[in-house]
Amino acid sequence: MKPYLLLLFLLVSCTAKQEKETSVLFADDADKADTLQYYDLHEIQHSGTIIAGTLSGPDTYYEYHGKGMGAQYMLAEAFAQSIGVVLQMEISPDTASLLQKLKQGQIDFIALEMPNWQTRDNEPLLSQAIAEWWKPERIKQIESAANNTTVTVRRHMRPVMQDAAHGIISAYDDLFRRYSSAAGWDWRLLAAMCYQESGFDPNAVSSMGAMGLMQLMPFTADAMGVPSDKRFDPEQNIAASARYIRKVSQSFSDIRDSEERIRFTLAAYNGGVGHVQDAQTLARKAGRNHQVWHEVAPYILRLAEPRYYRDPDVVNGYMRGSETEAYVRLIMNRWNQYRGSARSYSSGSTPSPSRKSLQDGEYKSVVKPAEEWTPEE
């Protein structure tokens, strides 16, 4: 067995299980403390939820396209499934905060690589279940799967522009025009985003489960009211994506400059609203303008560094920010190219820059690209 397993402290969850009458021990109010009533395996199974606390990080837990990732998360999730409950994750900036949450009954156990493996005597059945489940071969298998984090998209790429001579971008231009008002965007920006997501392949599917032209995740499709049998339908997919873009954009309604708001919306569509807002928080703390993308982009990238994703003001932890930064940059570049070459008869179209080649790899944005910043020492 490896020199570490998981340090598992087992206490009552006062968040998910308040129907039980329990008293909580507060470190600063010991005089008022009563005897704690702990949840053992049967009580946790009855409640249907087990709450794990951990630190954010690539090897512990982070969210990627709305899905949990990281070895410790995957181990905890597999254990939760083995006992028939749903896993809820809570992240903290440091181990001291984790221990405090544990003491106050906010989490059931800590999922983290530690030198020892300890459980509380108050839950013998849960301790036994953990000991029987956490076997070296199972840990090795799950950790191997967690380390394989490459995201692939199975798609048949169409030309970046179907007919440049006649200003036709794709076979779906009419749909982009029809639903651009729902997004509040120029239709050619929707087209640029679609090419980045799927290469105009309506049957594209990613290893994360994203579907169709705009690569809708299942939970997004559900939230936008798309039936399961219509998620690859071009019109349904584009229409739902446009509605979702509008919803995401509202999270940045305080950004008055429309193109800046577009950049933040694109970043959030790819990386999540919470992560983008964390980067804004870090930029603001550093004295940067949190409403200007090239001032925030460095902190999108830095959310891959422990110093930043464990900052006490960062709520959502680790982020694979290099993908999001590139996503924004490539789509803005392509949009500028489409504005120079595609027919503009649609509401809300924007003044076009000069024409440029539309061959892949030859894009040069007319706006300041995100990489034109100088990292702080």
Q: Catalytic site residues?
A: 197
Q: For the packed helices 187-198 and 173-183, what is the interaxial angle rounded to 10 degrees?
A: 110
Strand pairing class (113-114; 86-92): unpaired
Q: Is residue 367 helix, strand or coil?
A: coil
> How many Å apart are CA 135 and CA 104, to the nearest integer?
30
229-232 long-range Cβ contacts below 8 angstroms, 24+ apart: 232/202, 232/203
Provide the total of helices (H) and of strands (E) in the chain, helices listed first: 14, 9
Tokens 């920010």 belong to residue = 321
State whether the Cα torsion 307-308-309-312 is positive or negative: positive
For 265, the token pair is 């919306």
Beta-ladder partners of 236: none
Cα 191 from chain centre? 23
Residue 11's nearest CA partner among 122, 127, 128, 131 is 122
Beta-ladder partners of 86: 49
Q: Is residue 70 helix, strand or coil?
A: coil
> How many Å apart are CA 153 and CA 209, to the nearest integer?
9
